Amino acid sequence: MKKRYNALNDYYRELFGEKTFKVPIDAGFDCPNRDGTVAHGGCTFCTVSGSGDAIVAPDAQIREQFYHEIDFMHRKWPEVRKYLVYFQNFTNTHERVDVIRERYEQAINEPGVVGINIGTRPDCLPDETIAYLASLSDRMHVTLELGLQTTFEETSRLINRAHSYELYVQTVKRVRQMAPKIEIVSHLINGLPGETPEMMLENVRRCVTDNDIQGIKLHLLHLMTNTRMQRDYHEGRLQLLSQEEYVSIICDQLEIIPKSIVIHRITGDAPRDMLIGPMWSLNKWEVLNAIDKEMERRDSYQGCRIADSEII
């Protein structure tokens, strides 16, 4: 059944003609607010692996990781033969451009690779790096997954994000000017400390109206073990969302996102042995089905409230 929103799987099938894997890779990059470039300690929600907890063989060489991952995926989908290399954890442009090029090229020339997805931050995209990414976009499909998480400066300081929303907006403009073929995907997290449902809706509104983006990822905050955010939770500054609250917020957000923007994610995955909560998030398909049912109950679809002056 076709979704009531512009789902990533449908987009990739249309773009590449068939089901396409995103192959997560740990390329050994660090993060500027972990190594002292802009801050120390990292974002308070981030684990020691920097969002790479599900990578099959993170310690292997990059090319070996690629084949470990696709062999694992082929157990479920043996017919898939097209791949997007996903440099996922930490900040995958936080290096000199010659180092970035050397690491990327270890995987993107493998058979079946049709594109590259790069997870990074707005403070790690100097002009020379954008120029290299622009050259890559002449060879293959390039997606820049640009972490934002929140548009509110108070929240950003609380989670140790260490960059401003204004910097984010300016970086998107520079990428769009220098590399017009690149697709930009913005990441937002629902459920950050102190943010109300109204603020989460405002995060999406600002993100899609202030920035020329082609995709968006909406994450549920996963409270993980051995993260600095545990302190917020234990000291009462963080209230975990219920499934009903999350489903309602996601549906409200989808209704104010333009139909042309691809929804790359509306929930997430977390390793069971590291997750403190919300535990209901482990039932991923139940959450996705609940979102579909709520959209159907509302007779709602992506972008349907854009004309509502009270929302936009």
Going residue by residue through the chain, which has 312 residues, state the pLDDT in tens, using 9 for 90 and above.
Answer: 689 999 999 999 999 999 999 999 999 999 988 888 888 888 888 876 545 445 556 678 899 999 999 999 999 999 999 999 999 988 999 999 999 999 999 999 999 999 999 999 999 999 999 999 999 999 999 999 999 999 999 999 999 898 999 999 999 999 999 999 999 999 999 999 999 999 999 999 999 999 999 999 999 999 998 888 888 888 888 889 999 999 999 999 999 999 999 999 998 888 888 899 999 999 999 999 999 999 999 999 999 998 644 444
What pLDDT shows up at residue 240? 94
CB 22 within 8 A of CB 80: no
| Distance in angstroms (rounded) separating the CA atoms of residues 256 and 167 | 24
| Distance in angstroms (rounded) separating the CA atoms of residues 257 and 6 | 10
Q: Write out the two tokens for 254.
A: 């989808």
Domain ranges, ordered by start, for the chain: 8-298
What pLDDT shows up at residue 75? 92
- Please state the pTM of the whole predicted model: 0.93
What pLDDT shows up at residue 54? 56
Q: In terms of DSSP bridges, do strands 223-224 and 262-265 run parallel, antiparallel, or are they unpaired?
A: unpaired
| Distance in angstroms (rounded) separating the CA atoms of residues 145 and 148 | 9
Contacts of residue 269, Cβ cutoff 8 Å, sequence gap at least 6: 54, 284
For 8-298, CATH number out of 1.25.10.10, 3.30.750.200, 2.40.110.10, 3.50.50.60 equals: 3.30.750.200
What pLDDT shows up at residue 236? 83
